[in-house]
Amino acid sequence: MDATLHDVVEFFRLLADPTRCAILMRLARSDERPTELSNSIKQPLETVAAALADLESAGLITSRMSDVGGERYYHLDLERFQQRYIRAGGMIHPALAQTIAEAEEEAAPRVKPRVLFLCTHNSARSQMAEGLMRAFSHGAIEVFSAGSEPGQVHPMAIEIMDSMRIDIRGQRSKHYEEFIGQHFDYIITVCDRAREACPVFPGLKESIHWSIPDPAAIENEAERRRAFHHAATQLANRIRYLQILIEREQRNQVVSR
């Protein structure tokens, strides 16, 4: 068996297990800790731990210790998963993709979803996330960001977004209290501390957590720039995937009416 075929067989073997598949589906939306995965997919912790070890060994997921201590957060590498999926023959045929796009264009107008990104200082990760989602959605999603201890928009966040042709100079750091009482469909925390301090927003469809290290905390300038670029890349991949899910949910809502 050649190396490519062996990789495809191994990929489908990983997906064939119900526990591993359920974990991948959960991590596609939000980073979670083992106990949270165990509760959400209703499997014993030891079963979840074994599945996580398999997925991490295969390079599909990574993990990092929470910034506030305790358990590790597990994260699906969306880019690598997509590469493996395409290699396994899962690419959508161009004609089908065009049909889907045409159907979306003909869909009835929908209420814009509202998304709020939260991190501690609302200076780097959440600011980049706000700019990325606003640019990617072309105004189809109302997006905001805030923090529990707001400061100022980090100059390197502006610089990295400039390199992606996204201008966030008009954004400002805000306290989440500015948004208390407002309706949001999705709250996305992009740092572990913000997740612990996240307020309750009534009517929320989903609370999502992305455990992304703070690039602004790195002292060395060259390393800090690389960290900002890595954080922006992670956010861009996750936001593109989240947009697909949001658009799919909106289409399903229109069909069900």
Q: Just list the catalytic residues.
A: 119, 191, 198
141 Ramachandran zone, left/alpha/beta (phi>0; psi -120 to 50): beta
Q: How many CB atoms lie within 10 A of CB 63?
A: 16
SS3 181: coil
User: What is the rounded distance in angstroms from the CA atom of residue 132 to the CA atom of residue 191?
Assistant: 17
| Burial label, 96 (beta-carbon count in 10 A; 0-12, 13-18, 19+) | exposed
User: What secondary structure does DSSP assign to 208-234, as a single string?
Assistant: EE-----GGG--SHHHHHHHHHHHHHH
Residues β-bridged to residue 254: none
